[in-house]
């Protein structure tokens, strides 16, 4: 699977936030050795991006320490 550029082009939310969420999700997938990685040839980043940009996984922005 390649990075889902067609989903990125159609994406209307904040791309920076979604990219940060995809990075975090890729880490989660890799650390938990999620079974869906096997179906995706072990490519956690492209799977996470597909999940985030395809809205299969939801994310929310939380307040950072600097914002307090």
For residue 7, the Cα-to-chain-centroid distance in whole angstroms is 12
Residue 7: is its pLDDT beyond 60? yes
Please report whether residue 65 resides in a domain. Answer: no
Q: Encoding tokens for residue 26?
A: 């890729």
> Which residue range is the domain that position 10 belongs to?
5-60
pLDDT for the residue 65: 62
Please report whether residue 47 resides in a domain. Answer: yes
Q: What share of the chain is helix, strand, coil (3-state, %, to 5)?
A: 60, 0, 40
Residue matched to tokens 């040839």: 41
Please report whether residue 38 resides in a domain. Answer: yes
Give me the number of domains the chain comprises: 1
Please report whether residue 68 resides in a domain. Answer: no
Report yes or no: 6 and 49 within 8 Å, Cβ to Cβ. Answer: no
Note the pLDDT tens digit of each residue in 45-66. Answer: 888 988 888 888 888 877 766 6
Query: Predicted confidence band at 16 (pLDDT cuts at 50, 70, 90)?
Result: confident
Q: Which residue has the higher pLDDT, 3 or 37?
A: 37
Mean pLDDT, residues 28-53 = 87
* Enclosing H/E stretch for 30: helix 15-32
């Amino acid at each position: 699977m390649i990075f889902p550029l067609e989903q990125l082009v159609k994406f209307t939310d904040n791309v920076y936030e979604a990219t940060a969420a995809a990075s975090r999700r890729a880490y989660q997938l890799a650390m938990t050795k999620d079974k869906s990685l096997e179906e995706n040839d072990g490519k956690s980043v492209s799977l996470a991006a597909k999940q985030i940009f395809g809205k299969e996984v939801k994310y929310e922005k939380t307040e950072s320490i600097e914002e307090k």
